[in-house]
């Protein structure tokens, strides 16, 4: 790029000086600054920074739009595909999120929406150079995957998290056609296999011959057997493969072979971690620990889908280097866990089943001083008086793992004291999600509500951005949240609160709130109304089985035209005005036309 010596934009006749290459004309003066800006903006990667830059003036908005290569759409209905692709012309990587999180728990009708197809066709038109696609909670079909596979010759990365609607045929299309594919991650998605009478498609064999570019292959959620020989060959010809997460159809002897083929692996999902049927335990036993010793770069282990705890010691050689361990599918008790965990000094992320009991948590606390994220899942989801983990385990963790940033903890009983202790011992907490499975359960020692515990969390954990509450909670808990939860972005509430005041505290007090999901709590129209000033700043609000009426929602819709209020009800004619579900989100475009019958969109 050459330009005349002057950078003044208001020179009337700007002709280029003799340029070394006569075919490069200098850009018109008003474009000069923009071009400079574009070059500078290339260095901005964080989307929040980019959003801020785009608000400076029209020129900056244009420049930013032209230089944004990673586009993040937090709600697929907040903006139409056309609008997004018209503004951002040079996107190479796209993330789209669809259904609200409560869909994971069967609270949303099956055919609610979040269809990928309209996005697919828009992308194929607008971004033939697209390289990466991340989708979460979207509904996509085999046809959609076919479109992806054929429309983007530079396609490198496909990540599908909690998606559904597609099957093996779609995956096979991607494997076969995306020659530059580096990442194929299918995470917690429902992959519909073929009808029983048809052959299960061998998608692994669909990868082209020769060396692949594969760096990550994750298919734990694919509920179909795979052609193991083809898989082994694939792994053998994928020298860049670092992440491999197998489904439970891969047995431990097969895993052994794969690991020896790919000693460079850093992330491994071990599949079933169990012998196949024709080999009894102890029979011709391979030295599985040698495989783990061979993979010297392993930092992340998961899988263990059908684990026989006898095999667990095989992972010892890897423990010292592990930073992430996911045993949440493995029913291991404290005694089985201890010899493993006591070697995991570098562990930062741990997911387990509560089968390890408070005793297991104690072992974790004693060793894993660097722990940042802990998730304890329930082995039993019935509401019972006692469970294997409790306030004892939480407190012990809080004492031993001072660097904790994120915790998800399911239990049957919890005390305020333990939660308060954690709030003081773990000041770095960013995510605090406590689920006391018994609804409306008070502190079993003091019989008080859990208000003080959660109050302490919001008060003492100054970096907290995500909170999920449970147990017996009064409006007081929400008063604390409104007072102290100034950085809170995501809040999940269930079976809590006394009155409208509770929700008012939150909507009036939490300026950074973006995602609010509430179920079975006594908040009504007046409470909702108190958030009018804030709803345009939020990604969504979900309220189910609360005390909202259609009338109340209609008033919100009238007051805020860019808000889509989806009222989801199973019955059409009802005696009164109360609604079951409100899913509300900001949207720049007209209401969607792909909603099922049970959804009414107020505007």
Partner 1 sequence: MDESSRNDDMKLELRLAPPGAEQQQQHWGLINGIRTTTKRDESSVLSLGYFPHATITTKGSPSSTTTSSSQAAALPLHNNADKKVFSPSSANTAVPNTSQKRTAPGPVVGWPPIRSFRKNLANSSSSSKPPPPPPEHHNKDYGGGGGKGMFVKINMDGVPIGRKVDLNAYDSYENLSNAVDQLFRGLLAAQRDSSGGGVNKLQEEEKVITGLLDGSGEYTLVYEDNEGDRMLVGDVPWHMFVSTVKRLRVLKSSELSAFTQLLVLFSVGGKQEKDAT
Taking CB under 8 A as the criterion, which residues in 531-550 touch partner 1?
544-547
- DSSP H helical segments within 485-542, as ranges? 500-509, 525-529
- The three-class DSSP label of residue 55 is coil
Q: Does 384 bind partner 1 (CB under 8 A)?
A: yes
Which of 383, 463, 537, 559 touches partner 1 by CB under 8 A?
383
Residues 570 and 594: beta-carbon distance below 8 Å? no
Which of 10, 23, 199, 283 touches partner 1 by CB under 8 A?
199
Residue 177 or 251: which CB sits closer to partner 1?
Answer: 251
Minimum CB separation of residue 424 from partner 1 in Å reads 9
Chain Cα centroid distance, residue 592: 24
**Touching partner 1, residues 12-31 (CB under 8 A):** none
**Touching partner 1, residues 156-195 (CB under 8 A):** 188, 192
DSSP 72: E
Q: Token digits for 256?
A: 């052994």
- DSSP H helical segments within 92-191, as ranges? 117-126, 142-151, 168-177
Kindly write down the DSSP assignment for every residue of 198-236, as one continuous string.
SPPP-GGGGSPSS----SEEE-TT--S---HHHHHHHHH
- Per-residue mark of binding to partner 1, 441-470 (x: CB under 8 A): xxxx-xxxx--x--xx--x-----------
Question: Residue 560 region, left (φ>0) first, then alpha (ψ -120 to 50), else beta?
Answer: beta
Q: Does 598 bind partner 1 (CB under 8 A)?
A: yes
- Per-residue mark of binding to partner 1, 274-293 (x: CB under 8 A): xxxxxx--------------
Residues 145 and 166: beta-carbon distance below 8 Å? yes
**Touching partner 1, residues 81-120 (CB under 8 A):** 102, 104-111
Minimum CB separation of residue 461 from partner 1 in Å reads 13
- Comparing CA positions, the residue from 244, 253, 200 lying closest to residue 223 is 200
**Touching partner 1, residues 317-336 (CB under 8 A):** 328-329, 331, 333
Which of 117, 380, 512, 600 touches partner 1 by CB under 8 A?
380
Distance CA 527, CA 521 (A): 12
Chain Cα centroid distance, residue 472: 28
Minimum CB separation of residue 160 from partner 1 in Å reads 15
Which of 141, 146, 238, 254 touches partner 1 by CB under 8 A?
254
Which of 370, 580, 589, 594 touches partner 1 by CB under 8 A?
580
Helix/strand/coil percentages in the chain, nearest 5: 35, 20, 50
Residues 522 and 496: beta-carbon distance below 8 Å? no
Which of 209, 382, 561, 593 touches partner 1 by CB under 8 A?
382
Q: Does 571 bind partner 1 (CB under 8 A)?
A: yes
Residues 310 and 281: beta-carbon distance below 8 Å? yes
Which of 10, 23, 196, 209 touches partner 1 by CB under 8 A?
196
Which of 216, 326, 521, 587 touches partner 1 by CB under 8 A?
521
Q: Binding-site residue total for partner 1 (CB under 8 A)?
A: 108
Which of 12, 381, 561, 593 touches partner 1 by CB under 8 A?
381
Residue 19 or 161: which CB sits closer to partner 1?
Answer: 161
**Touching partner 1, residues 59-78 (CB under 8 A):** none
Question: Residue 272 region, left (φ>0) first, then alpha (ψ -120 to 50), else beta?
Answer: alpha
Minimum CB separation of residue 474 from partner 1 in Å reads 5
Minimum CB separation of residue 333 from partner 1 in Å reads 6
- DSSP H helical segments within 237-381, as ranges? 252-261, 288-294, 316-319, 334-341, 357-367
Q: How far is CA 395 from CA 58, 361, 585, in A?
A: 53, 10, 38
Residues 470 and 506: beta-carbon distance below 8 Å? no
**Touching partner 1, residues 475-514 (CB under 8 A):** 475-476, 492, 494-495, 497-501
**Touching partner 1, residues 222-251 (CB under 8 A):** 223, 225-230, 248-251
Residue 296 or 574: which CB sits closer to partner 1?
Answer: 574
Q: Token digits for 315?
A: 């992972």
Q: Does 427 bind partner 1 (CB under 8 A)?
A: no
- The three-class DSSP label of residue 267 is strand
Interacting stretch for partner 1, rule CB under 8 A, among 50-58, 395-403, 557-565, 567-575?
567-575
- Per-residue mark of binding to partner 1, 334-373 (x: CB under 8 A): -------------------x-x------------------
């Amino acid at each position: 790029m050459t330009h005349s010596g002057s950078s003044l934009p208001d020179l009337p006749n700007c002709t280029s000086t003799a340029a070394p290459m006569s075919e490069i004309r200098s850009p018109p003066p008003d474009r000069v600054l923009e071009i400079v800006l574009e070059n500078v903006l290339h260095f901005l990667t964080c989307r929040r920074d980019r959003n801020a830059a785009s608000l400076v003036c029209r020129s900056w908005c244009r420049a930013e739009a032209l230089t944004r290569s990673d586009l993040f759409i937090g709600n697929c209905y907040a903006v139409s595909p056309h609008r997004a692709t018209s503004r951002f012309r040079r996107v190479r990587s796209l993330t789209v999120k669809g259904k609200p999180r409560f869909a994971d728990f069967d609270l949303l009708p099956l055919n609610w929406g979040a269809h990928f197809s309209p996005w697919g066709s828009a992308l194929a038109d607008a971004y033939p150079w697209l390289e990466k696609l991340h989708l979460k909670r979207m509904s996509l079909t085999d046809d959609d995957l076919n479109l992806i596979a054929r429309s983007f010759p530079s396609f490198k990365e496909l990540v599908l998290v909690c998606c559904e609607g597609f099957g093996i045929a779609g995956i096979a299309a991607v494997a076969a056609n995306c020659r530059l594919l580096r990442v194929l991650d299918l995470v917690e998605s429902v992959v519909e296999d073929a009808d029983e009478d048809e052959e299960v498609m061998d998608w692994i064999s669909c990868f082209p011959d020769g060396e692949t570019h594969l760096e990550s292959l994750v298919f734990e959620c694919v509920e179909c057997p795979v052609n193991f020989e083809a898989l082994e060959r694939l792994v053998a010809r994928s020298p860049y493969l670092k992440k491999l997460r197998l489904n439970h159809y891969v047995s431990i002897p097969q895993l052994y072979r794969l690991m020896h083929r790919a000693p460079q692996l850093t992330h491994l999902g071990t599949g079933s971690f169990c012998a196949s049927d024709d080999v009894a335990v102890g029979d011709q036993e391979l030295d599985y620990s040698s495989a783990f010793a061979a993979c010297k770069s392993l930092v992340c282990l998961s899988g263990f889908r059908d684990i026989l705890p006898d095999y667990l010691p095989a992972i010892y050689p890897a423990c010292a280097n592990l930073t992430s361990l996911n045993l949440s599918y493995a029913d291991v008790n404290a005694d089985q866990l201890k010899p493993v965990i006591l070697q995991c000094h570098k562990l930062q992320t741990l997911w387990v089943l509560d089968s390890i009991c408070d005793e297991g948590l104690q072992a974790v606390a004693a060793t894993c001083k660097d722990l940042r994220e802990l998730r304890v899942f329930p082995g039993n989801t019935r509401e019972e008086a006692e469970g294997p983990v409790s306030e004892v385990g939480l407190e012990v963790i809080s004492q031993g793992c001072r660097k904790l940033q994120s915790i998800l903890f399911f239990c049957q009983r919890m005390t305020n004291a333990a939660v308060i202790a954690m709030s003081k011992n773990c000041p770095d907490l960013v995510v605090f999600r406590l689920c006391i499975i018994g609804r409306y359960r008070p502190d079993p020692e003091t019989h008080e509500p859990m208000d003080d515990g959660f109050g302490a969390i919001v008060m003492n954990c100054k970096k907290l951005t995500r909170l999920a509450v449970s147990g017996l909670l009064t409006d007081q808990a929400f008063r604390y949240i409104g007072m102290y939860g100034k950085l809170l972005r995501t809040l999940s509430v269930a079976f809590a609160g006394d009155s409208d005041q509770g929700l008012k505290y939150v909507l009036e007090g939490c300026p950074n709130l973006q995602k609010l999901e509430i179920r079975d709590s006594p908040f009504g129209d007046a409470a909702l109304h108190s958030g009018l000033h804030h709803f345009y700043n939020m990604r969504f609000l979900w309220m189910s089985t609360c005390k909202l009426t259609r009338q109340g929602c209609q008033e919100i819709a009238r007051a805020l035209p860019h808000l889509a209020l989806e009222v989801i009800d199973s019955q059409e004619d009802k005696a009164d005005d109360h609604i079951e579900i409100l899913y509300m989100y900001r949207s720049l475009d007209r209401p969607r036309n792909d909603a099922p019958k049970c959804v009414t969109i107020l505007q």
